[in-house]
Structure formats: structure tokens, C-alpha cells
Chain A
Amino acid sequence: MAHDVHTHVKSQTEYEYKRRRSANEMRSHLTTFAIMIFLTLVSFTAVYAGFSANLVVPIILLLAAVQVILQLYYFMHMSHKGHEAASLFLYSGAIVGFITVLTMITIVWW
């Protein structure tokens, strides 16, 4: 096949470095998870607390956006190298999606 895979056997040092790096990354994923749980709890509490809708709605939408960004950039690795195409596709989808929601709401409600 034209595209061959070169197998590189790591030395003990390289191997230990890789393991340590991925263990560190896993620890940061756990932190991300804790933040996501916390954001979810804040959202639900804000709704339970019964503040005015004009205050709570923007807050929970913002928290949802933050949580989605964490999910995309850390759990789905968009922060890693080689995700230019991935970002292009996802942001294009998000922009079209945003315009769709905006258009539909303005047409129906105004």
C-alpha cells in the first residue's frame, strides 16, 4: 500500500515519558469533568432558587456554552494539533445552526 505505517519502538525513556504525559492529560480530564458537574449543579440550582427569568435564562445558556466548549476542546481533543478541519466543520455547522434558530424565532415571534 502506498501509505505505509512506520513502526517506531520507543526506548524505555520515551515510553515512560509518553505514559506520564497521558496520565497528566487524564488528570486534567478529571478536573474538566468536575467543572462540568459543578456547572450543571449551578444551572439546576439557579432554576430551583426561583430568581427572575430574565436573570436565570442568560446565565444557564452561558453555563451550557461553557460546558459544551469544555466537552469539545478537552473530551473531544479539539485543543490538540491537527483539528483545523474539525474546527472548520463544527464552527460552520454551529453558525448555520445559530442562524437557523435566530431566523425561526424571529419569524414566529415577531
Chain B
Amino acid sequence: MDLNTKYTPQSWPDHPENTTLEGKNKFVGFWLFLGGETVTFASLFATYLALKNKGPSGMEFTTQGLFELPLVFIMTMLLLTSSLTSVYAMYHMKNYNFKAMQAWLMVTVILGAAFLALEIYEFSHYVHLGFTYGQSAFSSSFFTLVGTHGAHVLVGLGWIILLMVRNAKRGLNLYNAPKYYLASLYWHFIDVVWVFIFTVVYLMGVIG
């Protein structure tokens, strides 16, 4: 594979993400990684569900008292929309439209950063209430589960920003197309995990 090969929209392959052997390997390896991530998050969910609303006697925090659904709703909408904007980015990647792809990734990054800012606000609010990481088994399992997801958002943001900066002057080629594609898969996976977090942690937490 010659990295300097220049493409036109007419010569750009239909599946640039796995046209090269390197792209194919990355694709398989990345899905294996996502399978492992599923198990990671499942064990954190299991821990949270087992320890939910439990702690030392006299502890006064429950999911019903803590969670505010409007904030969670806004966060959900931000992350869901950022999933769509990264689909748009990959649509332009397949059409060999580098500028449009970078622009949509920029929108994705802004939405993701807004999500992360709200999560930091939420966590600091809880800490001010006295619901700190070490307060109870419940608080530890909550912060570990939701915080691990937040860390994934942070890594995803860093990943996409690095790709955008690194390739800003290169344009698209068969070397970086798989990288963009996998970053977008990762971003969707973050949204997949969030769907379970807002359902299992927040909505079921408010119900009781």
C-alpha cells in the first residue's frame, strides 16, 4: 500500500475501512476489543446492581433522592445526536469528502464535550451533597460504573481530536480511513453503553 497514492471520489474504494490488509486486521481486532469492553461494563453493571442503595447503616443517600432526570435527558440527547453526527462523518468519508468529514467530526467532538461537562457538573454536585466516592458501597459502585463510561467519552474525544489534527493536511487515504472508521465505531459503542446506563442506573433508579 502506497501511502502517497492520491484518490479521487471515482477511484476511492467502496469500503475504504477494510480494503487494505492492515484495515482488515484493525477491524477484526477492534471488534474483539468491543466484545471485551462489553464484559468490562457488564461486570461494573453487576456490581452496581448488587450494591445499589446499600451502605453503612444510617446512610441517607438513595437513587430516588439523588438523580435528576432532566439533566440525564439532556445528556442522553447530546450523546445520541453525537452518534448521528459521526454517522454523517463516515458517510462523507465513504464519499471521499475530507472537509465535510472533519466538519462533522468537529460537531461530534463539541457534543461529546458538552456531555462530559454535564457529567462533571453532576458528579461535583453529588460530591458537594456528601455523596463522595468513599461514602458507601453504593457510591463507589455508582462512580465506578458511570465514571468508567465518562473516561471512555474522554478517550474517544482525545482519539477523534488527535486523528483530526494529525491528518488535517494529509487528507484521506487508505492508511487513515480505517482509523477514522474505528474511532466512529468506538463512539457508537460509548452510546450503546450509555443507553443501558440511562435505563438501568437513572430511570430504574428513579422508579426505585
Q: Which residues of A contact B (CB under 8 A)?
A: 1-5, 7-10, 15, 18-19, 22, 25-26, 29-30, 33, 36-37, 40, 43-44, 47-48, 53, 56-57, 60-61, 63-64, 67-68, 71-72, 75-76, 82-83, 85-86, 89-90, 92-94, 96-98, 100-101, 103-105, 107-109
CB distance from A8 to the nearest CB of B (A): 7
Kindly report which residue of chain B lies nearest to residue A105, judged by CB atoms: B49
CB distance from A79 to the nearest CB of B (A): 13
* Chain A residues with CB under 8 A of B148: none
Kindly report which residue of chain B lies nearest to residue A104, judged by CB atoms: B46
A contact patch SS: helix
Kindly report which residue of chain B lies nearest to residue A29, judged by CB atoms: B87
Q: How far is A16 from B194 in the complex, measured between Cα atoms in Å?
A: 38
* Chain A residues with CB under 8 A of B10: 9-10, 15
* Chain B residues with CB under 8 A of A71: 83, 188, 191-192, 195
Q: Say yes or no: A53 contacts B206, CB within 8 Å.
A: no
* Chain B residues with CB under 8 A of A29: 84, 87, 91
Given A75-B87, A86-B34, A101-B45, 8 other A-B residues pairs in contact with their CB atoms under 8 A: A3-B20, A19-B95, A44-B73, A57-B204, A83-B31, A94-B42, A100-B39, A109-B50
* Chain B residues with CB under 8 A of A4: 1
Q: How far is A93 from B41 in the complex, measured between Cα atoms in Å?
A: 10
Known: A8-B11, A96-B42, A104-B49. A33 touches B34 (CB 8 A): no
- Report which residue of A3, A26, A93, A94 has the largest number of chain B beta carbons within 10 angstroms of its beta carbon: A93
* Chain A residues with CB under 8 A of B49: 101, 104-105
Q: Say yes or no: A9 contacts B42, CB within 8 Å.
A: no
Q: Which residues of B contact A (CB under 8 A)?
A: 1, 5, 7-11, 13-14, 18-21, 27-28, 31-32, 34-39, 41-43, 45-47, 49-51, 69, 73, 76-77, 80, 83-84, 87-88, 91, 94-95, 174, 185, 188-189, 191-192, 195-196, 198-200, 203-204, 206-208
CB distance from A17 to the nearest CB of B (A): 11
* Chain A residues with CB under 8 A of B83: 33, 71, 75
Q: How far is A7 from B189 in the complex, measured between Cα atoms in Å?
A: 32
Kindly report which residue of chain A lies nearest to residue B18, judged by CB atoms: A82
Q: How far is A85 from B83 in the complex, measured between Cα atoms in Å?
A: 23
